[in-house]
Amino acid sequence: EAEVAQSPRYKITEKSQAVAFWCDPISGHATLYWYRQILGQGPELLVQFQDESVVDDSQLPKDRFSAERLKGVDSTLKIQPAELGDSAMYLCASSTPRDTVNEQFFGPGTRLTVL
Amino acid sequence: LAKTTQPISMDSYEGQEVNITCSHNNIATNDYITWYQQFPSQGPRFIIQGYKTKVTNEVASLFIPADRKSSTLSLPRVSLSDTAVYYCLVGLYSGAGSYQLTFGKGTKLSVIP
């Protein structure tokens, strides 16, 4: 069964350092999402891509976060500089509409710890 | 962004039906409701999605009343493996085929033997 791949699975960094996360969606899925999930809370959408274009980045802290999906396939989320409050699980998901259902398939996530 | 409210936690015995309600009092006709299940250290997994009335699949049912101010996920005959956190996700239509997506804070379901 096709899956969304993410790497690394775990990342520990010091504050003010730069970090980057990678996501490879399910083949053929045009829509890609990055979420941040703080422990004990629901996922918060950071950015949504349709192919290589950003559809929604209204909740992305643009002073330190950036995301790209240059060829409309895999994607990278970057944080520079990292802050203590960025410690969270970063989830990537992809989807393709099937009839009227838009099911998102999530990857295993990257657990970020900022020291 | 949509505002959603779910109970923080619920307990149920094995074999019982469980109903989890999500309140979302500002959704419109084109907005959809989706429910996801999440186990520790894993990404959420899709359960069911609907726009109105009732939707049923092989694992759950979703009830959406006419006023659409809430939705209820129904899990028939839960087992220990259904212990997880359940999230409702509201997709607010923002035009041109796009939706603003908001997850609730989740309901931790504990199934007791």
The Cα–Cα gap between A65 and B98 comes to 22
Instruction: Say if CB B100 and CB B109 are below 8 A apart.
Output: no
The pLDDT mean for chain B works out to 91
A&B contacts, CB < 8 Å:
56
Q: What is the pLDDT of residue A9?
A: 96
Instruction: Say if CB A65 and CB A78 are below 8 A apart.
Output: yes
Give the Å distances, CA to CA, from A67 to A76, A82, B25, B53, B60: 6, 15, 32, 38, 35
Q: Are residues B100 and A101, on separate chains, in Cβ contact within 8 Å?
A: no
Nearest by CB to residue A106, choosing from B43, B100, B105, is B43
Query: Which residues does chain A have within 8 Å of residue B43's beta carbon, measured at their own beta carbons?
Result: 4, 91, 93, 106-109
Q: Which two tokens stand for residue A29?
A: 């899925």
* Region at B28 (left for phi over 0; alpha for psi -120 to 50; beta for the rest): beta
pLDDT at B25 > cutoff 90? no
Give the Å distances, CA to CA, from B67 to B34, B53, B54, B60: 17, 10, 13, 21
Residue type, A71: K
Q: Are residues A102 and B103, on separate chains, in Cβ contact within 8 Å?
A: no
pLDDT at B67 > cutoff 80? yes
pLDDT tens digits for A69-109? 988 899 999 999 999 999 999 999 999 876 667 899 999 99
Contacts of B18 (CB under 8 A, 6+ apart): B10, B12, B74, B75, B78, B82, B109
Q: Which of A44, A48, A59 lies closest to A25, judged by CA?
A: A48
Query: Which residues does chain B have within 8 Å of residue A33's beta carbon, measured at their own beta carbons?
Result: 101
The Cα–Cα gap between B66 and B25 comes to 12
Residue of A nearest to B97 (CA): A55
Q: Are residues B104 and A42, on separate chains, in Cβ contact within 8 Å?
A: yes
Nearest by CB to residue B43, choosing from A41, A56, A91, is A91
pLDDT tens digits for A2-58? 899 999 999 999 999 999 999 999 999 999 999 999 999 999 999 999 999 999 999
| Look-up of token digits 């989830």 | A91
**Given CA atoms B21, B22, B25, B27 in this order, what sign does their dihedral have?**
negative
Q: What is the pLDDT of residue B3?
A: 82
Contacts of A16 (CB under 8 A, 6+ apart): A81, A82
Q: What is the pLDDT of residue A99?
A: 64
